[in-house]
A and B are shown apart, each in its own frame.
Chain A
Amino acid sequence: MERLRVATVWLGGCSGCHMSFLDLDEWLIDLAAFADIVFTPVMDIKEYPGNVDAVLIEGAVANEDNLEMLLKVRERTKVLISFGDCAVTGNVTALRNPHGTALPVLERGYLELADDTPQIPSEEGIIPRLLDRVVPLHKVVKVDAYMPGCPPPADRIRRCLEQVLAGQVPVLAGPDIKFGTGRTV
């Protein structure tokens, strides 16, 4: 059997979904038996490769780099999975949207609340410009599957990836599509 090419991508999110991915613990070894992780922020790979079978994308589309990366990933990947609440809904990353555009948020954060040398960071080509509105992935590209959760618990990620390994487009249901935290309080 040909090994699957799996990737994970980190856009406008806190990396919590990737922490949860690492919580798969020893199952990562089982995963490695069937799949190559060809791109992920937890390894030092510079360029997103071609012919990727499935990708988990964490985070919303918040800046120009996110947008460019997402378009590239969509082009080079068969099954694109929105990974976690920011990717699925915008979530915390999109909390700034009620303020209209990016500017009032930047002014509040970097000018009004600055203790010292207030200035809005800008460096063309280095600091990506914020988009005026944060949007979930499926508002930009076609998304094949959704994995809500902030973060999705490791067993939810496993149930999703097991379907990927079985050659299916994953479908989650019931408690596995609950937004927010999966833990019971």
Chain B
Amino acid sequence: MTAVTLTIDGKLVTARADETILQAARANGIPIPTLCHVDGLSAHGGCRLCLVEAGPGGRLQPACVIKVAEGQDVRTDTAKLREYRKLILELLFAEGNHVCAVCVANGNCELQDAAAAAGMDHLTLDYTHPRREVDLSHDRFGVDHNRCILCTRCVRACDELEGAHTWDMSGRGANSKVITDLNQPWGESATCTSCGKCFMACPTGAIFRKGATVAEMDHGRAKLDFLITARGRKQWNV
């Protein structure tokens, strides 16, 4: 594999030619915020939180899907990027009904943490307060669409790790939602194996374990990461 040399935030780094800007940055200890990205699952490029300035004119590019290139000059933390990231988070908060105070994931939520890290102390946008459903038909898990940010991590974990492909997307724009099977109640899904990988992958409280109350739910993400490493690198003992 050929290696390329590029500059990230003024630092000269070397990366494999098939690596993304995100991989190269993280390998060199340069943090880039993400929400829809999970190491080991396919890249989605949906949340846009990982936008960086790369190439001529500082064009905005999602670091999770754009490959490194020889001589590339990447900026990960400019005033413009900070402004856009904050706006992206505002849009996510305004689009759903994210009420941290009464959420199972309170204190254990990537959206909540990302907002604080981006300096979002209030929303300049108006909340849309949509009417969305909660599906409690599954024995062990529930899905609260009010808290879903449409990152598709559940869809990808279910498809790529479990091989069940129970989850998918339906609708367009603001009417998009994650669905199980052909938009049937989750509890009636014929494909769901109840493995819980969607729950482990969920960054918010959208997919939750039944019986968990406010602020007490842990997603058990370590287990998901273990499975990804085990399958990807054949390392079962970490």
Is A148 in contact with B122, judged by CB distance below 8 angstroms? yes
Judge if A172 is at the interface, Cβ distance under 8 Å.
yes
Nearest CB on A from B158, distance (A): 26
CB contact list, B95-128 vs A, under 8 A: 97, 99-103, 106-109, 112-113, 115-116, 119-123, 126-127
Judge if A97 is at the interface, Cβ distance under 8 Å.
yes
Judge if B231 is at the interface, Cβ distance under 8 Å.
no
CB contact list, A166-185 vs B, under 8 A: 172-175, 177-181, 183-185
Tally of A interface residues using CB under 8 Å: 32
Contacts of B116 in A (CB 8 A): 174-175, 177-179
CB contact list, B163-220 vs A, under 8 A: 215-216, 218
Is B97 in contact with A180, judged by CB distance below 8 angstroms? no
CB contact list, B128-182 vs A, under 8 A: 129-132
Nearest CB on B from A118, distance (A): 25
Is B129 in contact with A181, judged by CB distance below 8 angstroms? no
Nearest CB on B from A185, distance (A): 4
**Chain B, 4-44, contact with A by CB distance < 8 Å: what is the 0/1 string?**
00000000000000000000000000000000000000000
Contacts of A58 in B (CB 8 A): none
Nearest CB on A from B175, distance (A): 15
Closest to B218 in A: A185
Contacts of B101 in A (CB 8 A): 85, 91-92, 150, 179-181
Tally of B interface residues using CB under 8 Å: 29
Contacts of A175 in B (CB 8 A): 116
Contacts of A146 in B (CB 8 A): 121-122
Closest to B123 in A: A89
Is A95 in contact with B112, judged by CB distance below 8 angstroms? no
Nearest CB on B from A130, distance (A): 15
| Given known contacts A179-B115, A180-B100, A82 and B107 CB-to-CB distance under 8 angstroms | no
Contacts of B130 in A (CB 8 A): 98
Judge if A138 is at the interface, Cβ distance under 8 Å.
yes
Contacts of B215 in A (CB 8 A): 180-181, 183, 185
Judge if A88 is at the interface, Cβ distance under 8 Å.
yes
Is A136 in contact with B122, judged by CB distance below 8 angstroms? yes
Is B122 in contact with A82, judged by CB distance below 8 angstroms? yes
Judge if A31 is at the interface, Cβ distance under 8 Å.
no
Contacts of B100 in A (CB 8 A): 85, 150, 178-181
Is B99 in contact with A177, judged by CB distance below 8 angstroms? no
Complex CA–CA separation, A138 to B127 (angstroms): 12
| Given known contacts A85-B101, A150-B101, A185-B215, A177 and B107 CB-to-CB distance under 8 angstroms | no
CB contact list, B75-109 vs A, under 8 A: 93, 97, 99-103, 106-109
Judge if A90 is at the interface, Cβ distance under 8 Å.
yes
Nearest CB on B from A169, distance (A): 13
Nearest CB on B from A80, distance (A): 13
Complex CA–CA separation, A146 to B108 (angstroms): 22
CB contact list, A124-149 vs B, under 8 A: 133, 136, 138-139, 143, 146, 148
Complex CA–CA separation, A95 to B97 (angstroms): 8
Partner of A177, one of B109, B121, B126: B121
**Given A98-B130, A179-B100, 19 extra CB contacts under 8 A:** A94-B127, A139-B126, A148-B121, A173-B119, A174-B116, A177-B116, A177-B120, A177-B121, A178-B100, A178-B113, A178-B115, A178-B116, A179-B112, A180-B100, A180-B103, A180-B106, A180-B109, A180-B215, A181-B215
28 contacts between A and B (CB under 8 A): A85-B101, A88-B121, A89-B127, A90-B127, A95-B99, A97-B129, A98-B130, A98-B132, A133-B129, A143-B122, A146-B122, A148-B122, A172-B121, A175-B116, A177-B120, A177-B121, A178-B100, A178-B112, A178-B115, A179-B112, A180-B107, A180-B109, A180-B112, A181-B106, A181-B215, A185-B106, A185-B107, A185-B215
- In the A-B complex, the 10 residue pairs with the closest CB atoms: A180-B100, A150-B101, A97-B129, A179-B100, A177-B121, A146-B121, A178-B116, A185-B107, A180-B106, A98-B131
